[in-house]
Amino acid sequence: MLHIVNKSHTQTNALQSCLRLAQPGHALLLTEDAVYAATVAGAESAGLAEALALLKVYALLPDLEARGMADKLHADVTTVDYAGFVDLVTTHPNNQSWL
């Protein structure tokens, strides 16, 4: 399962809900303002740091760059470009967008 979150953990509880229900082995893609949780500081405050042991976490690189966060990325988060986004969606038969 691929979980997709696009809202900041400081704006909504979408990421927290996702992390509560995601299962080990699932993947998580952070886009738009959700990429703030992919930073070192954001991962701690969002509860993502603990989830990195269970989930494969990706962040959309163009969104990180647009927000000036690309150099603050947590070491265990993998960046993807738009083609990588498409690859993630097509390789995971089930996708859940958290709004």
What is the C-alpha separation between 70 and 61, in angstroms, rounded? 7
Rounded to an integer, the average pLDDT of 11-30 is 96
pLDDT at 18: 97
Question: What integer best gives the mean pLDDT of the chain?
Answer: 96
The residues with which 86 forms a beta bridge, in sequence order, are none
Amino acid at 55: L
The pLDDT tens digits of the residues spanning 52-70 come to 999 999 999 999 999 999 9
pLDDT at 9: 95
Residue 31's pLDDT band (cuts 50, 70, 90):
very high
Fold held by 2-98? Hypothetical Protein Ychn; Chain: A, (3.40.1260)
Q: What is the pTM of this model?
A: 0.96
Domain layout of the chain by residue ranges: 2-98
